[in-house]
Chain A
Amino acid sequence: MKTYHEVAGDGGSDIPGQVARREARMRVRMASVAHSLAVMSGKGGVGKSAVTANLAAALAMLGHRVGVLDADINGPCMAKMLGVRGKALKLAPDGVQPAAGPLGIKVVSMDLLLPRTAAPVEWDAPAPPHPHTWRGALEATALEEFLADTAWGELDFLLVDLPPGPERWAGLHGLLPQCDAVIAVTIPSQVAQLTMQRSVISAQRLKAKLLGVVENMCNYLCPQCGASQPLFPAEGEAQAAALGMPVLARIPFDPRLAACCDRGAPFVAAHRATAAGTAFMALAARVSGYCDSREEER
């Protein structure tokens, strides 16, 4: 009796063909994106999305065309941080038009499809018990559709803001092999860095190009005297060096950053001259420089 691999085709469903056509759609869409870059973290709460939003803004301030995809399907916040929450995605002949954020940043997020309340993502599923059997697949399909069905247009950078978790970049890379460059965001606490190391090692095993680590909330500047005090005891630089990665930026804690995120206005645009603003601009310059050099290598 024949075994699986001895039977050609799948009886007419052509599931591999359906998947291949989706992948082809993705390739066509991504052809107009010069650099796609994932922003990941190990643990949640390290300020990854705030870094993504401000890196996007800083890149735009350097004159780049930037798009942001919020890959956090269940906890989307990029629409809020980039001031497009409440705007709607529109349908155009060439796909879904992303929402227009500050500095011309194009934003796509699940938040823009959800009701305008704080309703969670709920799927219409006839098999509500045991959602673990299908939810991951549906979330991956959603991410693939957001990438491939959005009319991104010509972009210099597409930043993909991943949800926290060491496995997240692998999931994205499976859908979007072109996205092979990663920035890891952490805070200088050993707990956060342990999980970040897992994320980094997981990405390294898949041959990701790890641009480096962004150390967020690295210190606190006294508003009175300007003295810098560490917020956490761990040495982030040593941790990054142990993983063979440079520290791309050290962002000091600034309460105005959280306020700007809440307002949907990029901090770096409003407070460029501050220590954190300068750090974001330097981060953007490094990312931009890296991508330029990579372009030349190609």
Chain B
Amino acid sequence: MKFLCVACDEAMQFVEAAEAPRGDTLTAVFGCPRCAARVALLANPWETQLVRSMGVSIGGRTAVHEPLEVVRARLAESRLLWTDEAEQRLARVPEFVRPMVRESVEHHARERGCREITCEVMDEVKSSMRM
């Protein structure tokens, strides 16, 4: 999708984008480099979802791609991925309590919005349990 300033016959450039507080729509602002006029693209929920589904970012992308980034972000319920180091550390926990530890670590991670379990997340859980 491209935006053209009709008055100047000039391609408009991306200025900023923001998701609505409800998270279901997207606003992207474009400006004319010649006359500075601005327009806002207001994407409806289906258009917003389509853009997300394609795994692209309106306005460009600077963040480094994370493994299975779109799948993990978009699944309503998914297992958290553990790093090798975190798995190895979990393996040192006695087997009979391992499932319980795994569950509490994952619960803690989900509450904090973590997308993967690292040794740092495990340290956080350990500290919170001491408190």
Contacts and interface: CB of A to CB of B under 8 A. Distances in A.
Interface of A: 1-2, 4, 7-15, 18-19, 21-22, 25, 88-92, 95-97, 110, 112-116, 119, 121-127, 130, 133-135, 137-138, 141-142, 144-146, 149-150
Contacts of B73: 124
B100 interface: no
13 contacts: A12-B60, A13-B57, A19-B56, A115-B79, A125-B49, A125-B74, A126-B24, A127-B24, A135-B53, A138-B52, A141-B70, A146-B71, A150-B67
Interface string B51-90: 0111111111100010111111111111101111001000
Contacts of A123: 74-76
B2 interface: yes
Nearest to A73: B71
A18 B4 contact: no
A95 B49 contact: no
B11 A141 contact: no
Contact of B71 (A11, A12, A142): A142
Given A126-B48, A141-B55, 6 more contacts: A2-B4, A13-B14, A13-B59, A125-B49, A127-B45, A137-B53
Interface of B: 1-4, 6, 9, 11-14, 22-25, 30, 44-46, 48-50, 52-61, 65, 67-79, 81-84, 87, 116
Contacts of A15: 56
A95 to B, nearest CB: 5
A12 B68 contact: no
Contacts of B2: 4, 7, 9-11
User: Taking each of A91, A92, A119, A133, which has the highest tally of chain B beta carbons within 10 Å of its own beta carbon?
Assistant: A91
Nearest to A131: B49
B46 A114 contact: no
Contacts of B48: 126-127
Contacts of B61: 14, 18
B59 A146 contact: no
Nearest to B20: A126
